[in-house]
Amino acid sequence: MNPYQHLNALARQAFEHWGAGRLAEAAEGYAAAIAVARDGGMPAVADLHGQLAAVLDAQGRLDEAVAQSELALAAEQAQDGANDAWPSVKVARYFLADRLERQGQPQRALDALAPSLAVLPDDWLLNMAQAEALFAAGRVPEARAAAERSLANASSNDKRAQLAERLAPVLRA
């Protein structure tokens, strides 16, 4: 089995563990797959770092999840031609910001979002995360404005309803 096949087998197994709720085994599997990529001289694998971050987050290991989210973002940015408008970069920034905000670091969350917001100022996902981070930072009028932008730019009525529910504390403040 070549290193790429080994990496893929480990990643598939980790994903199966995650789906079955075996979070410890999933975390070990993703860490092993990342090690195979690193030791084999392969480029950083952003999706593996992102999936490991999600598993660690589900385990309540938020500090480690933030670290893996930072690695996922760095790996996305390292891809040829990557920029802050790329969907994968935007999503990596969202997950990092969400975890930083829940970690009690709203300003770092805002800093993580800023580059993508600069090129995608009306993106509903980024505006939602921005609203939550601003609210956590006590910047209520700005948070409300970001929440309203998120709702205004939602991709569908169903998405708008989901956002309204999630952002209700911000919108009522």
The domains of the chain, with CATH numbers, are: 1-82 (1.25.40.10), 89-173 (1.25.40.10)
Structure-token pair, residue 170? 């911000």
Packing angle between helix 124-136 and helix 157-166, nearest 10 degrees?
10
Token match 């001289």: residue? 41
pLDDT score at 12: 96
Distance CA 47, CA 71 (A): 10
pLDDT score at 41: 77
Distance CA 12, CA 16 (A): 6
Nearest to 167, CA basis, from 86, 140, 50: 140
Token match 């030791």: residue? 39
pLDDT score at 65: 98
pLDDT score at 79: 86
Rounded to a whole number of angstroms, the CA Rg of the chain reads 17
Residue pLDDT tens, the chain, 173 long: 788 899 999 999 999 999 999 999 999 999 999 999 988 877 768 999 999 999 999 999 999 999 999 999 999 999 888 899 999 999 999 999 999 999 999 999 999 999 999 999 999 999 999 999 999 999 999 999 999 999 999 999 999 999 999 999 999 99
